[in-house]
Amino acid sequence: MKTLSENRCFYGTQGVYTHASSATGTDMTFGLYLPPDAADGPVPLLWFLSGLTCTHENAMTKAGAQAYAAEAGIALCFPDTSPRGERVADDDAYDLGQGAGFYVDATEAPWAPHFNMWHYVGTELPALLAKHFPIDPDRQGITGHSMGGHGALTLGMGLPGRFRSVSAFAPICHPSDSDWGRKQLTAYLGADTAKWAPHDATLLMRETGLDAPLLIDTGTADQFGDLLKTEALAEAIATRRQPAQLRLQKGYDHSYFFISTFVPDHVAFHAEALWS
């Protein structure tokens, strides 16, 4: 692992690091914010999974979460959204290939050799953080935006017992029934829709639910609202009687202005669960 940068930030440290990943077969970069409390021992960890076209840097620099994480005494991890490099398959479209990993383990050519983001975020990177940083592996929460919200929800339900809290900003909720999903799931996982189910939050909610508190915020003016399928997840939550807060925020769109407005609520939501 190499340190690319470390900056003092709200009395803690915002670092950026790179390492060779066995999951993706590439070098991967991630951001990690350690609050001042980390100087005294292990702290809880909140994951922030970013959306289409993003890198580790977008949420790290635009969401404004560090100030609230410092106050709450929790670390923040900002992984990249996909493997990258000249050897890594890509596509001319913004919603497939590099920058659009969808947090799945691809089984189809040409994606399978490198696009293993489920294993990377779910297994490899957590082990790396626990080994090298003062992180408490038993106190983890997860959040994300858009494609990253999809990842937060599916990892939260697909890894029961891992996360004490789950939240999302404008998540892709039902990719099996959306143009933001069918294309990518077919490309990465093949045409057999049964293989898609572990990566569809609505289907997972219907089948298994979530063993942690859940908070979702979506803007009523989100320009991608038809693709998110928020209503389908809301119906699944209601049918299962899943404890959850699903809030429609009047006039907000899909941007980081929306995220930065409500990130204090999300950090506080996770902090309550992580410190309980």
- In the chain, the number of structural domains is 1
- Classified as helix, coil or strand, 26 is coil
What domain range includes position 112? 2-274
Contact 158, 196 (CB under 8 A): no
Active site residue 255: no
CA distance 51 to 58: 9
| 96 residue type, one letter | L
pLDDT tens for each residue of the chain, 276 residues long: 999 999 999 999 999 999 999 999 999 999 999 999 999 999 999 999 999 999 999 999 999 999 999 999 999 999 999 999 999 999 999 999 999 999 999 999 999 999 999 999 999 999 999 999 999 999 999 999 999 999 999 999 999 999 999 999 999 999 999 998 999 999 999 999 999 999 999 999 999 999 999 999 999 999 999 999 999 999 999 999 999 999 999 999 999 999 999 999 999 999 999 999
Six-digit token string for 105: 């383990």
CA distance 100 to 182: 14
Provide the CATH number for the domain around residue 137: 3.40.50.1820
Active site residue 146: yes
Of 50, 146, 167, 178, which residue is the catalytic one? 146
Please indicate, yes or no, whether the overall pTM of this predicted structure exceeds 0.95.
yes
Measured CA to CA in angstroms, residue 1 lies from 24, 28, 79, 131 at distances of 15, 10, 14, 11
Total Cβ atoms within 10 A of residue 48: 30
Of 150, 254, 266, 270, which residue is the catalytic one? 254
CA distance 145 to 252: 14
Active site residue 211: no
Of 80, 105, 222, 266, which residue is the catalytic one? 222
